[in-house]
Structure 1
Amino acid sequence: MSDLKIRAAGVDDLSEIVAMLADDPLGAGRESPDDLAPYRAAFQRLAEDPNQHLMVAVRTGRIVGTLQLTVIPGLSRRGSTRSVVEGVRIHADERGSGLGTRMIQWAVDESRRQDCQLVQLTSDATRADAHHFYERLGFVASHVGFKLAL
């Protein structure tokens, strides 16, 4: 993996990022790779917020993974700062290669660098393989998550 680079995403990376977001049964039903306008607007909001880190993994000039890391200052846990990992996707050709581990390790290291005391993430209840992956990396399924669509 010496040829791998994890870097901040640029607006020119959006089509490849969205394609990875759409490349699974859940993403296929909620992403729109043919219309990048809403993703460009979202990217602009992310780019303006210093607590948002949209990252891509690049190997030999090709984007092969992505994730978003959000740093959240808070009052709970004695004023702890936490980070949230979202939108983790690995290109189909790279799954099982160790890239996911490398990207999550980047997120954990960056969280430490930013003085976070907790790294958290959610994973859809149907993604059993992802749950096992995160548990192997030391994450604990400690909470029940709730969502309200608006």
Structure 2
Amino acid sequence: MARMILPNLPVADLQKSTEFYLGLGFVKNRQFSNDECTAVVISDNISVMLLQQDFFQGFLPKGDSPHLGSAGKEIINALTCDSREEVDTFLANCAKGGGALYQPATEQMPGMYSGSAADPDGHIWEFFWLDPSIPTTVVEETS
């Protein structure tokens, strides 16, 4: 089986959050969705689990609590795009779907164009495009 990633995100309003992600062009997996959670398929190996806040709390057995609506940010979900235009489209669709622009798209380093948006619950998504003409081979540094 191929390795997958399934971020679990607490949400205040499951229907609103589901509509936001479907508005970005992603698909709902009905098999793994119910009244407390929605599985949103981004690609063959990436799905986002939107969990109603109380349901999310049930996965925190040590008394931790979700920081829904908190100003504190613990993670930025980064998603590659096929073009600079797709980055811009995702950012525009986030704003139209009830999210908010978090950081406008810019070329922060040569060959990497990115911007970020917050979903309705404040979860940050960075959308980025890497110029395929620039090598991305990992170069190990020696000390």
Provide TM-score, normalisation by structure 1.
Answer: 0.29
Provide TM-score, normalisation by structure 2.
Answer: 0.30
**Higher RCO (CA < 8 A, seq sep 6+):** 2
Q: Which structure has the highest helix share of the two?
A: 1
